[in-house]
Amino acid sequence: MKIVLLDGYELNNDLNWKSLQELGDCTLYDRTPVNDNAEIIKRIKYADIVITHKTPLDHEVISKTSRLKYIGIMGTGYDVVDIESAHQNKVVVTNIPTYASDTVAQFTFSLLLEVTSQVGLHNQLVHENRWAQAPDFTFWEKPLLELKGKTLGIIGYGHIAQKVAKIGHAFSMKVIFYNHRPKKVPESWIQQVSFDELLRQSDVLSLHVIQTPETIDLINNDTIAKMKTGVIILNTARGKLANEADIKNALNEGKIYAYATDVVKGEPIASDSPLLQAKNCYITPHIAWAPYETRERLLHMTVDNIKAYLSGDLKNVIN
């Protein structure tokens, strides 16, 4: 059985692939050109199992493989694979739905705390001798904000969102959420509201939905207009959920206080991205998922998914 992994470097440059290699004849690529279907097809044409993280597998690629029976996505989002084409070609597709829930929730609040507490900025200023030269025992360069009593609005209510909600509650925030399918929630401290009501109430808005045609540009001029002036928006989901030109304008005009994101429309970020011309915009290079422990878990779960497929006991199947 031939297994091909298309883009392993950023996931696993410091872990051991032995558990995957034991499953069959393994070819591991650090990187595969994401815009070169001919090269992708060449690499997987005779593979039985293909593993991808961010290398896209579209209809052309899937239809031109001769032996492909299984695609394993090393991640939660599955927009990199044409699921309908896989179904038509009788290819099983699996993902890893919960491997990073805790760390992404942690990172969501890392972004929020950086906006509200400005730790990074003031650490830098201290090392630049600004404190040593200050006339008083203290100083601050930007406003510092308290989270207690502020309303945290969460769009989506899956595993990550639920953990974000609990952290928000621990910070004594009022927590509300919107989900496209209503959910029964046992906790008394959280309230389910309509989408428009969530936009209206939120002091902090956190995005936790998958990318679909319906959610692309979910945050745009129209939805921003319904928000409070001074809202903080957090995005650890997908860059395309936010219209970046509209975000830039709202930041520069002061409608949005801060936009803190770990994801952007095109990754790596383009040098002319509107976000790079925006005031009070915090951008990290898609690292919320990347702690060592999380990536180790991701590798183990990827291997477990393949073992389940080989034994005929499928799990985490998308299609």
Closest residue by Cα to residue 5 from 62, 33, 63, 44: 44
Burial class (CB in 10 A: 0-12, 13-18, 19+), 113: middle
CB 105 within 8 A of CB 112: no
Catalytic site residues? 238, 267, 286
CB 176 within 8 A of CB 192: yes
Query: What type of residue sits at position 17?
Result: W
Q: Enumerate the β-bridge partners of residue 178.
A: 155
Please enumerate in sequence order all residues whose Cβ is within 8 A of that of 313, keeping only pairs 6 or more positions apart, or say none: none
CA distance 78 to 96: 10
Please enumerate in sequence order all residues whose Cβ is within 8 A of that of 239, keeping only pairs 6 or more positions apart, or say none: 261, 263, 264, 265, 266, 267
CB 40 within 8 A of CB 17: no
Q: Cβ of 35: how many Cβ atoms within 10 Å?
A: 7
CB 58 within 8 A of CB 37: yes
Structure tokens at 9: 């470097």
Burial class (CB in 10 A: 0-12, 13-18, 19+), 268: exposed
Tokens 């942690």: give the residue: 106
Query: What type of residue sits at position 149?
Result: G
Q: Cβ of 75: how many Cβ atoms within 10 Å?
A: 19
CA distance 31 to 232: 35
The sign of the CA dihedral 226, 200, 250, 207 is negative
